[in-house]
Amino acid sequence: MAALLTVAGLLLPDAASAQQADGERLFRQRCGTCHAMEAGQNRAGPHLSGIIGRTAGSVEGARYSAAMRESGVVWDRQALDTFLTSPRQMVRGTTMTVSIPNAEQRAAIITYLEGVGAQ
Ligand code: HEC
């Protein structure tokens, strides 16, 4: 019964918001030390407000590697997924070395970033 309820839960339309809640928790644990979601608040890494559609290395006042500034990447879901899988493989010379090997966790984090950016 519990398993059935779990499956039903995944099929409900609000599954995306559940994933976003999960993404928020993961973001706080894995990204929040270095990244804020508020525009203008740069930590070790740039703020990630409005990251979807943003050109890589473009936040004023953030500390970027030359590799990131010159990457020519525009962040969308696919680019973020590739980056978070293995940052240094996608942007050779980046100073961000944190990766998220788990595809579901990556998807949850990206959904969270997307949701916050759209608010
Ligand atoms: C230890 C600190 C640290 C952690 C933890 C971290 N990052 Fe970063 N991140 C950075 C730094 C530093 C940069 C700038 C890299 C560069 O310029 O090469 C960066 C850059 C980025 C960028 C590119 C931003 C832009 O403006 O182009 C994205 C997207 C990003 N991080 C997402 C994440 C996500 C999502 C997480 C959590 C899964 C995360 N980061 C965890 C330090 C961190």
- Ligand 1 centre to CA of 10 (Å) is 30
Mean pLDDT to the nearest integer, 51-76:
97
The label of the residue with tokens 């894995």 reads 30
Cα-based distances in Å from 83 to 3, 10, 24, 56, 95 = 34, 27, 18, 11, 12
> Band of the pLDDT at 99, cuts 50, 70, 90?
very high
Dump pLDDT digits (tens) for 1-35. 555 555 545 555 567 777 778 999 999 999 999 99
Q: Give the pLDDT of residue 17.
A: 74
For ligand 1, atom 5, the nearest C-alpha belongs to: 31
- d(Cα 59, Cα 69) in Å, to the nearest integer? 10
Q: Give the pLDDT of residue 114.
A: 93
Q: Give the pLDDT of residue 59.
A: 97
- Ligand 1 centre to CA of 7 (Å) is 34
Q: Does the beta carbon of 99 sit less than 6 angstroms from any atom of ligand 1?
A: no
Task: Enumerate domains of the chain plus CATH numbers.
Answer: 16-118 (1.10.760.10)
